[in-house]
């Protein structure tokens, strides 16, 4: 079985397991409005987007993290009991996923931009950072809009701010940090491999 299919099958198994009795069904549905079509597009639409196997794997790993968060309502993910050394009043799982968004989405953006910006590595790096932080910010706006239009209790669960008024800014900053790390690695690797003007 080719790679995208077995990776997609693993994600589907996780999805089915975590769809079973989530903490809040309405929040779970909101969280998966984007991720379900995105996951299907990654696996079924590979011939169209033609992303490398490694990039598809990173995107599926991000979706796997997201599915855990949507099952537990993000702010209730019991990672502290999984790793008892992490002691904090705030549940930081959502921060981890925003950081992973930057790290795991940036290579896909880089790869897509490489088709039109083959030799312009500096511009490709800047645009990769811009796209990732724009998508992260757009998602924060979707959360805000959903919180304003749905049931207030469900909206609070969906946003997952946990009382932090700067939650959206911190989430976006972590996505930017993750994309800096991934883009810096990709830029350095390509620069060492390709001599000549940038």
Domain ranges of the chain: 3-193
Asked if the model's pLDDT at residue 113 lies above 80, the reply is yes
Answer yes or no: is pLDDT of 93 > 70. Answer: yes
pLDDT band at residue 181, thresholds of 50, 70 and 90?
Answer: very high
DSSP string across 55-104: HHHHHHHHHHHHHHHHHHTSTT--HHHHSTT---SS--HHHHHHHHHHHH
Both tokens of 56, joined, read: 């598809």
CA distance 63 to 24: 19
When the pLDDT of each residue in the chain is averaged and rounded to a whole number, the result is 77
Structural tokens at position 50 = 């033609």
Phi first, then psi, for residue 94 (nearest 5°) are -65, -35
Please give the average per-residue pLDDT across 99-128, as a whole number.
89
| Res. 130 pLDDT band, cuts 50 70 90 | very high
Tokens 């930017």 belong to residue: 176
Contact between residue 182 and residue 106 where contact means Cβ atoms under 8 Å apart? yes
Average pLDDT over residues 44-67: 79
Question: pLDDT band at 198, cuts 50/70/90?
Answer: very low
Nearest CA to 129 among 113, 95, 106?
106
Cβ-in-10-Å burial (0-12, 13-18, 19+) of 14 comes to middle
* pTM for the model: 0.68
């Amino acid at each position: 079985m080719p790679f995208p299919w077995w990776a997609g099958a693993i994600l589907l198994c996780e999805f089915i397991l975590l769809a079973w009795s989530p903490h809040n069904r309405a929040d779970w549905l909101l969280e998966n409005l984007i991720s379900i079509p995105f996951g299907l597009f990654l696996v079924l639409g590979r011939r169209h987007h033609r992303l490398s196997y490694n990039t598809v794997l990173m995107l599926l790993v991000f979706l796997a993290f997201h599915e855990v968060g949507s099952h537990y309502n993000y702010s209730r993910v019991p990672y502290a009991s999984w790793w008892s050394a992490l002691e904090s009043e705030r549940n930081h799982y959502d921060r981890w996923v925003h950081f992973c968004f930057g790290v795991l989405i940036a290579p896909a953006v880089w790869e897509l931009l490489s088709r039109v910006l083959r030799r312009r590595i500096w511009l490709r790096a800047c645009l990769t950072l811009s796209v990732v932080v724009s998508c992260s910010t757009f998602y924060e706006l979707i959360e805000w809009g959903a919180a304003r239009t749905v049931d207030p209790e469900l909206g609070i669960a969906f946003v997952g701010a946990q009382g932090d008024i700067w939650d959206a800014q911190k989430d976006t900053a972590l996505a930017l940090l993750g994309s800096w790390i991934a883009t810096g690695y990709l830029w350095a690797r390509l620069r060492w491999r390709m001599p000549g003007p940038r």
